[in-house]
Chain A
Amino acid sequence: GAGVSQTPSNKVTEKGKYVELRCDPISGHTALYWYRQSLGQGPEFLIYFQGTGAADDSGLPNDRFFAVRPEGSVSTLKIQRTERGDSAVYLCASSLDKFQRSDYEQYFGPGTRLTVT
């Protein structure tokens, strides 16, 4: 079956611009996560959705970052006034977790590589 997909695969933008990154989770997965992976680092948690609501947004670095999941499926990560330090690979993952358990497998997408010039 189809896995997690993310679009675009690559995005180059100028400093100060607004960008949107899209994630299509596996059908039927209620839990969705965003992570950010900087060069040479492991992924870092940004935000977790259970259905339509953001259950944990403690990883968002500042108020320039915002994510939505209006219908409980597709999610969009939005970054305003981009800065060069935002350059990274943004990963999306989904899981079947309906009970906020920690041991459900998260299935990752290929990521969106964001470059801010």
Chain B
Amino acid sequence: AQKITQTQPGMFVQEKEAVTLDCTYDTSDPSYGLFWYKQPSSGEMIFLIYQGSYDQQNATEGRYSLNFQKARKSANLVISASQLGDSAMYFCAMREYQGGSEKLVFGKGMKLTVNP
């Protein structure tokens, strides 16, 4: 079963508008972490934002904020005031612990296109 679900394969948004990228997750572990990464066409994976399962506040990093709804198991990324440079693939990931180490389990990603 998928542990991270990103149902939107692609989205289009106008420059300067806000956009929400959906992510739902599945875990029975009470302690977990959720991440969003951006992958522009150049290919690198850029860390955007992190939310811990015990964090009381929703995470924010500049124009990025995470709408964390624990009961619904959702961790949506909100990008305010979209810029052309925000056009990229976006991946939601969850940290899992295995054998004393951790690994990231990724969703399938979604492609955001910002139009001028």
A and B are partners in one complex rather than unrelated chains: no
